[in-house]
A and B are shown apart, each in its own frame.
Chain A
Amino acid sequence: DIQMTQSPSAMSASVGDRVTITCRASQGINNYLAWFQQKPGKAPERLIYAASSLQSGVPSRFSGSGSGTEFTLTISSLQPEDFATYYCLQHNSYPLTFGGGTKVEIK
Chain B
Amino acid sequence: QITLKESGPTLVKPTQTLTLTCTFSGFSLSTSGVGVGWIRQPPGKALEWLALIYWNDDKRYSPSLKSRLTITKDTSKNQVVLTMTNMDPVDTATYYCALRAIFGAVTNWFDPWGQGTLVTVSS
Contact = CB atoms under 8 A, between A and B. Distances in A.
Interface in A44-88: 44-46, 49-50, 53, 55, 87
B46 A98 contact: yes
Contacts of A45: 111-113
B49 A34 contact: no
A67 to B, nearest CB: 16
B110 interface: yes
A44 B63 contact: no
User: Most chain-A CB neighbours within 10 Å: which of B37, B47, B63?
Assistant: B47
Contacts of B114: 43
Nearest to B96: A43
Contacts of A42: 115
For the complex, would chain A's binding face be called helix, strand, loop or mixed by DSSP majority?
Answer: loop
A48 B22 CA distance: 24
For the complex, would chain B's binding face be called helix, strand, loop or mixed by DSSP majority?
Answer: strand
A1 B63 CA distance: 9
A91 B98 CA distance: 14
Given A43-B96, A49-B108, A98 B115 contact: no
A35 to B, nearest CB: 11
B90 interface: no
A98 B113 contact: no
Contacts of B47: 36, 44, 87, 89, 98, 101
Contacts of A95: 49, 60-64
A96 interface: yes
Interface of A: 1, 34, 36, 42-46, 49-50, 53, 55, 87, 89, 91, 94-101
26 contacts: A36-B110, A43-B96, A43-B115, A43-B116, A44-B96, A44-B113, A45-B113, A46-B110, A49-B106, A49-B108, A87-B46, A87-B47, A89-B47, A89-B49, A91-B107, A94-B60, A95-B49, A95-B60, A95-B64, A96-B52, A98-B47, A98-B48, A98-B49, A99-B46, A100-B46, A101-B46
Give the 10 A-B residue pairs with the shortest CB-CB distance, closest first. Answer: A43-B113, A46-B111, A96-B49, A98-B47, A91-B109, A101-B46, A100-B46, A95-B62, A94-B60, A43-B116
